[in-house]
Every structure is written in C-alpha cells, then in structure tokens.
Structure 1
Amino acid sequence: MKIRQGSLNEARIWKHLNEEVKLDAPLVLIFANRHLLEEDYIFSTMRHLFPNGHLVYASTSGEILGDQVSDGGLAYTAIEFENSTFKIVSENILNHEKNSIETGNILAQKIDKANLKHLFVIAEGSYINGSDLIKGLESVLPDEVAVTGGLCGDDARFEKTLCGYNSKAKAGEVIAIALYGESLEISFSNYGGWFAFGPERTITKSTGNILYELDDKPALDLYKTYLGDKAAELPQAALFYPLSVHSAEKEHPVVRTILNIDETDNAMILAGDVPEGSRVKLMMATVDGIVDGALEAAKAAVAKRESAAQLAILVSCVGRKLVMDQRSEEEVEEVIEIVGSQAAITGFYSYGELSPFANERSCELHNQTMTLTLISE
C-alpha cells in the first residue's frame, strides 16, 4: 500500500507530504470544511494533483491528518493498493424522497458482491436516517461483510452537508467504497466515553428518528427543562447532552445526537432511530472520559490483528470535539499511541459514526463515539 497525504489550512496554504511517492489511480479521501467544498477551486486543484485519482469528497466538522485536528481546512489521503482493489458507487437520497432504507438498498445493489471484503460508507448528514441507511445496505450485502464509515458534518451549524465522487460535492450524496482482496486485513471498533445521568424515561411516541414523547410528555419540553438557559442555544447545545437509547431488540444501548428540533410538533430529530418502548437517559462527558474512550477504541481495533495497520481512518463525533475544544488532538494522540506510528492517520469529525460493536458484524449508527477502521494488505 502506497500513501500520500496533504492539507490546506484556513490561510489557504497547502502542505503536501510524501510527494516522492508515485501513484497511478489512487483512492483519494478528501475531508474538508463545507464552505471550501462549495468552491470550484478545490475540485480543480485536487484533480490536478491526482489526474487519474478516484476523488471522494466529504464535508466535516473538523479534519484529522496525522496527529493534527484542523478546522476550516482540507485534509487528503491518497491510497494506492498494491495487492487489492476497490470500487466506488454512489446514490443520492434526494432522488428517493429522502427514504434512507431505499437509498441504502439501491446503493448496495450496485456493488459487486463477489469476493467483497469490506464496505466503507461516507454519507451526507442532513437528510439521512443513519439507522435506516444501514438497514437498506445490510438487506442486500452478504452477512459476513462489515460496514464502517460516517455521516458528513458541517461544523456545528447544521445547515447542509456535502459529499461527492469524482465531481463537485453536493447535497444528498451517499458514497460506498467497496474493498476487495484476500490480502486485506481490516479491523474496526468504536467507543464513547460518555456517561448517563438523571432519571430513566421511556419513549412513548416516536416515528423513525423523530422523538415526540417521553413518559407520555412532550420530549422537547422535557429536554428544554434539563438544559435550562442553554435551551436557547438548541440544536447546537444538544451536542453536549445526547441520549442513551436502549431498545428491547438490541443488546447494547446506542447514543443518539439531536440534530435538529421541531418547535411546531414539539419534537426532536435525531441522527438515527429511537424506537418506541426504548429506555432513555441523558448523557454527558468530560474531556478525560472522551480521551479514555478513544484509547479503548484503539485497543479494541488492534486486539486481534495479525499485522500492523498501514492506514487508520478515524471518524469521531462533532459533540466530542465541542466538549474537548482545544484539546481535541489528545484523543487522536491516544489512538496513534496504540495503533502505531507506521500507520497513516486520516479522518474527520462527523454527524454520526457507522461501525459494528466489538466482536459483531452487523453495523450500527453511533453518535458521540470514536470509530476506527484499520487497513493493511
């Protein structure tokens, strides 16, 4: 595996690493601030850098490159597999009336299943129900194929997210990178580091990812009561206080971030499903707890590997970044300490993370986690 990396900072200064590495038609992961991706300049520059490259763009809530976390810039990682192959397909949820299951189903139908080893998905983060996207994908994929990835971000603005493959990034896109090859070793993990507090409540009315009532009371009213003065800062304030959701059908609770609120219906829109009957508690975190969570994720990802990772893709939640503020790089440093300095590190801060739980294959949508996908060949 041959890798080149580089970045563009807020001052519009490029930094290119490993320029001596010659690549033919690499997979190029481009994580960038949404405002940058709206500029034609970015697409033309990346195409000039990699004339034959397969360019995958994703808007972020922060970019990860090596041990650095940046805002307002761009980070790229170009990967040329030497013993493996990849294929990229895309679908737009806006062509399917924002139906996430249908979008995932059609996207998965485009993928060649023969000898498929892994699927890495980068999805827009504005319209998607991440839980339903996974349902659609896994209804078509072979059981043994795991899915990891993340939902695009837009800092803490929640205005719009952009994604694209070999074209200027746009709203609604969902991109799947299918990896093939017997020599590939891929491991993955996720961990949060948040803790629950306050009384446990039951979801008594919900539809998909829209939460209406807790204990037969308007969910948004209850949430605002807990937030107090911070309620005026919704939906951004919700990133500091996600929900732990434990449904009867799931062995593990999942964390759900509130992406938006609906004052008219007194409801909250979350990144993934919140089934009726689920038990819910508020969550919060400390910086040390989040950093420890990243450490645990890294330990789990390397635990059963036979070879050292050559590439590590980190997808962490925007809520974690807001809590850590100027200390965001600490969680990345913890990951590098465990994964090893031989691995090229890339990734982004997201509106949702896709990964199975430890020792499982079925994917889940997570919020407020650090998710790792480690690759070698």
Structure 2
Amino acid sequence: MITSHTFVALSYSEFQEKFNHALNVISFKPTLAFVFASVSFPLTSLMDVFKSQQIRLFGSTTGGEILFDKTLNHIGEKSVVVVLTDIHPDCFRLFPVKRGNATPYALGAQLGEKITAAFRHPSALVVGSGIVMDGQALVEGIVSKTGNEMPLYGGLAGDDGRFEKTFVFTEETVTDDGVIALVLNQSKIELTGMISGGWISLGAEFTVDKADGNTVYQINGLPALDMYMNYLNVKEEDLPAMGIEYPFMVRNEDGTSVLRAITGIDKDRRSLIFAGSVPAGSVISFSTSPGFEIMENTREKIIAFHEKNKKADLLILFSCIARHLALGPLISTEIKLASIKWKKPLAGFFTYGEIGNNEKGHSTFHNQTFTLALLRKKRS
C-alpha cells in the first residue's frame, strides 16, 4: 500500500509549520510529494523545502486547490495542498521539460521518448504550464511515442483564474512554459482513471475558416474574437474568463465531439486562443453546462468505475475550473462521492485543461471534465 500524509496551508509560514510537524509525526520517510499551489505562494521557497529533505516533487499551480481526506473537505483558493508519500524511488521517474523553441507536439514527443525509456510498462501523470500551450498537440506528441492506450492523466496548470502565467515544478526546476511528467512503473504502481464531462451544445453550428493549431482567426467569415463576442453579447474585458464557461464543442468526423475552452485572446489579430487544437474546417457550436445534470452524470460514472476498480491507495483529481464556476459550492458533491467510495485521500486542483484516457481507453486532451486518477501499489 502507498502510505500518505496530507495537509493544507493558507500561508507559507503555515506550510512550514505543518511540513515540519509532519516530518516529526509520520511513521515513514517521504520519497515523493504532490503539491498543488496557488500562484500567490513563493514557489522556489516551497521547492527548496522539499529539496532540503531529499523529497522528489510533482507540482503545479492551480485555479483552486482540492483536498478531501478523513478529517478535511477543502476546496480553496490562495492555498497549498500537500501529499507526502512513500512510493519507492525505483518505481517512478520525474521528468521536467521546458518547451523552449519546440512546438507543443515536439515537446510531447520529447516527453514521450523519456516515458517509454523509463520502464518496460510505463504510465504517467503529466502537468503542463503556459497559457497558450496547445494541450491536444502536447498529448498527440506524447502518444506518438508511447501509443495512445498507455494510462495517461493530468492537466494544465492554473493561476487563480488570472490567465496570465502558470507554472509546473519539481524540487529543482520550475517553468512557466513546459511540462512535468511523473512516470510510474505500471508493474509496481498501477495507474487507472476515469473522465466525466456533461456540457451540452447550444444548437447552432459554425465553421472554422482559418486556424493554426490552437489559435482560431476566422469563423463563418468573421474575425473569431468578434464572432464570439457578438454571439454571447460580451465585451473584450470579459474574456478569456467567460470563455471557460462557454467553450466550443468541436464535432469530430466519427460523430464524437470534444470541448475546447478559451485561454487567451489576441485583440490585434481578433483571434481566440484555445487550450487545445481547433483545426480549420472544424464544425463547432457553443456549449454550456446544464447545471445539476453534470453532477448526476459524474455520480453515475464514479459509481460504475468504482464497481470495476475498488482498490486504490491515493486519488489525484484534475477538475476543470469551469466546473467550479458552473456549480459553485455544489462542486464538493461530486468530489466528495469519489472520496467516500474509495475511502482514501483525494488531492487535486482546478485546471485549464485535462488529460485522460477516454471511454475507448485512448489518451486524449479534454476541457470541462472531472478527470480522476487512481494510484495503487501492487502486491509483490
């Protein structure tokens, strides 16, 4: 079993106090920590604390922090969530990769090569930073090397809803434009997971005339930014924040669809920047949350997934910030159900995009989803 110790802190001084207390009271030597923190925290100081204790660190800034355990149900802002674990160093590898001049696809391919070289049967948790990061291209690059059926879960970092600069970090490296991969030996530490969406189309369909990767320039003959503003009757200053709540639903050739949320705008070029690719020629529609129905959808999926995967030692949640905006305090309902079902600590954060294996088992980039990853130590 993976042994863990969790805590939340609302300030750096409280973090220091609780971290030192944890080292004095826990019965195991921490080897790997998960840290999900508001951008208001001094990240390099946090990193130094773990480095000084030789604890490896998988970290991301957030759009809100989540921790549900035996004594605490925390959904917060401007806080830090910490999970200390005893996962054996032989069972995992940490790979921080800064993007530099690489495309998101090339960055993903570079990371995919590291993942496949790490273990004979790898799986991975991945967090990415960069407001203009194309999450779909990143995932496509990873699976070009790993195959798209490898367990792969994660999300894009947040920055308290500012949409200015996000970060991912280890105990030694921090980047505002790159990725961190926690690669697990799937033969020793099993990674499984599930995703749940629920957003619905508003009906009318449009065609993307001009796009490049995750930047859309023209829709139905109009500049993309102007078309979006006119349809929803919003102002420039409302974006990109409102774009998280009203993503595009992109219809795929096979009849399935995927959601794409706005993470940035270019006022000069009148373009929209999305968390994932939206190719030219795509048929799109606006979408929105149907309200409480998305909780019922998630509840059914959690129950069904638990029936087939009843054992877990630790739960890591990547939940879109749009779900928090749509449900408000009721967001705790769907999170708490997962915590109750497995009776294990659940830690995570509100993301700007999610990565997870879909219902066909294929690794995909998502928006607006509840993406839950389960970690379990296998018996020797």
Cα distance change on mapping 1:370 and 1:84 into 2, 3 Å: farther
User: Residue type of the partner of 2:374?
Assistant: L
Cα distance change on mapping 1:46 and 1:81 into 2, 3 Å: closer
TM-score by length of 2: 0.89
Cα distance change on mapping 1:237 and 1:153 into 2, 3 Å: same
**In the alignment, is the contact (CA less than 8 A) between 1:90 and 1:174 conserved in 2?**
yes
Shift in Å, 1:154? 0.7
Shift in Å, 1:204? 2.0
**In the alignment, is the contact (CA less than 8 A) between 1:83 and 1:181 conserved in 2?**
no
Query: Which residue of 2 is the match for residue 56 of structure 1?
Result: 58
Shift in Å, 1:143? 5.0
Distance 1:288 1:84 in 2: 44
Query: Which residue of 1 is the match for residue 219 of structure 2?
Result: 214
Query: Which residue of 2 is the match for residue 258 of structure 1?
Result: 262
Query: Which residue of 2 is the match for residue 278 of structure 1?
Result: 282
Provide the secondary structure at the position in 2 that maps to 1:34: coil
Shift in Å, 1:281? 1.0
Cα distance change on mapping 1:22 and 1:332 into 2, 3 Å: same
Query: Which residue of 1 is the match for residue 92 of structure 2?
Result: 86
Q: Any unmatched runs of 5+ in structure 2?
A: none
Query: Which residue of 1 is the match for residue 328 of structure 2?
Result: 325
Query: Which residue of 1 is the match for residue 295 of structure 2?
Result: 291
| Residues matched between the structures, number | 367
Q: Any unmatched runs of 5+ in structure 1?
A: none
Structure 1 stretch displaced more, 182-191 or 217-226: 182-191
Query: Which residue of 1 is the match for residue 364 of structure 2?
Result: 364
> What is the correspondence of 1:113-128 to structure 2 with a 5 Å cutoff?
113-128=118-133
Tell me, yes or no, if structure 1 residue 311 matches structure 2 residue 308. no
Cα distance change on mapping 1:369 and 1:157 into 2, 3 Å: same
Cα distance change on mapping 1:118 and 1:129 into 2, 3 Å: same
**In the alignment, is the contact (CA less than 8 A) between 2:261 and 2:274 conserved in 1?**
yes
Query: Which residue of 2 is the match for residue 353 of structure 1?
Result: 354
Tell me, yes or no, if structure 1 residue 245 matches structure 2 residue 247. no
Structure 1 stretch displaced more, 281-290 or 270-279: 281-290
Distance 1:41 1:166 in 2: 10
User: Residue type of the partner of 2:171?
Assistant: N
Cα distance change on mapping 1:186 and 1:301 into 2, 3 Å: farther
**In the alignment, is the contact (CA less than 8 A) between 1:197 and 1:283 conserved in 2?**
yes
Distance 1:100 1:60 in 2: 20
Provide the secondary structure at the position in 1 that maps to 2:360: coil
What percent of counterpart residues are identical? 27
> What is the correspondence of 1:1-377 to structure 2 with a 5 Å cutoff?
1-10=2-11, 13-14=14-15, 15=18, 20-38=25-43, 40-47=44-51, 51-66=53-68, 67-81=73-87, 85-93=91-99, 95=100, 97-111=101-115, 112-142=117-147, 144-167=149-172, 169-229=174-234, 231-248=236-253, 250=254, 252-305=256-309, 307-337=310-340, 339-341=341-343, 343-360=344-361, 362-377=362-377
Give the alignment's Cα RMSD to 1 decimal.
Answer: 2.3
